[in-house]
Amino acid sequence: MQYHCLGQIAYFLFRYILRYRRKLIIEQLTFSFPEKSEKEIVDICNDYYHTLAEAVIGTMTLAGMSDEKRREVLKVEVPDNIQECVKGRHFVYLSSHHNFWEYAQFAGLKFPEHLTLCAYHPLRNKAWEELYYHLRYSEDALPIASAQLIRYFLQHRKDGIDGRQLLLGLIADQNSPPKGEVHWYDFLNRKTLFFEGGEQLAIKFSLPVLYLSMRRIKAGRYEGEVILLYDGDEVVDRHVITERYVRQLEKDIQREPSRWLWSHRRWKYVPDPVTGEPIVVKRKRKR
């Protein structure tokens, strides 16, 4: 009921009244899908506002949600070989802003021997920060500021927490600021930077890496497929694990293009054509 009523109000507000970041959305869609017509791009943009509206309503429903309800809103299948791979081991769990990202942590319920550490970026407003922290917190999931995640993991790597192994949940398609030596990935028709923290932890500590692919069933209901990107033992070169993540994410976005968070500025940096070093893309300000 809330998605039908409040969701439609939020959709109308974003699309018709605010025209929320429409120029940015159209610009990024056009560059990412050069094969699509102008009408197709506009249709994806308009449908994206449904995604945004669902995210707003979905966030409002997080408080006090029972485990039973969490399993209902996100139905996840985990193959036996993956369960066996992570048994008795810490592991990295990569998700994205494709479909409703806040539900991604619910996949952790499929791993009852693990405690989910949810990496997130703290908000500047203390009141909103406290609210979002409590919305994400549960007996099975502990929100940890991204900057503190590695330190927290190292502190508890030996014994886990309360006898439980650690599941390191990372939304890995954030806009990565360049630090030191960078690696560019081909992603949606552009050279793109990605956070590689999950890969670095996996290789250093021999941690399996899983990826959650989400599909929308209907408003407020999703299904997820857990995919093994790295078993924790394979010998791989740098960037290989992240490359596997990028390819899976790109496949999901191409399947359901309107379900990704297009209203965030995704490409703040581009490689210098000569040196390959990151340079800032300057946007024209409204006059």
Q: pLDDT tens digits, residue range 219-252?
A: 999 999 999 999 999 999 999 999 999 999 999 9
**C-alpha distances in Å from residue 26, one per residue of 11, 42, 92, 256:** 17, 7, 33, 16
Place 285 in a pLDDT band, splitting at 50, 70 and 90: low
- The average pLDDT across 85-112 equals 97
Segment among 100-109, 124-133, 145-154, 243-252 with least mean pLDDT: 124-133
Torsion of CA 156, 158, 163, 166, to 10 degrees: 60
| 287 pLDDT more than 50 | no
Residue 4 pLDDT grade (very low, low, confident, very high; cuts 50, 70, 90): confident
Residue 140 has pLDDT above 50, yes or no: yes
Per-residue pLDDT at 286: 53
Predicted confidence (pLDDT) per residue in 258-284, tens digit: 999 999 999 999 999 999 899 998 776
Cross-strand partners of 216: 222
The angle at the Cα of 87, spanning 117 to 102, to the nearest 5 degrees, equals 30
Round to whole Å and give the CA distance between 195 and 182. 10
Q: Is the pLDDT of residue 161 over 90?
A: yes
Count of CB atoms situated within 10 Å of the CB of 2: 12
CA distance 29 to 51: 15
Cα dist from 43 to 47, 49, 199, 266, whole Å: 6, 10, 36, 20
Residues 6+ apart with CB under 8 A from 282: none
Q: What is the three-class DSSP state of 128? A: helix
**pTM: predicted TM-score of the whole model, two decimal places:** 0.94
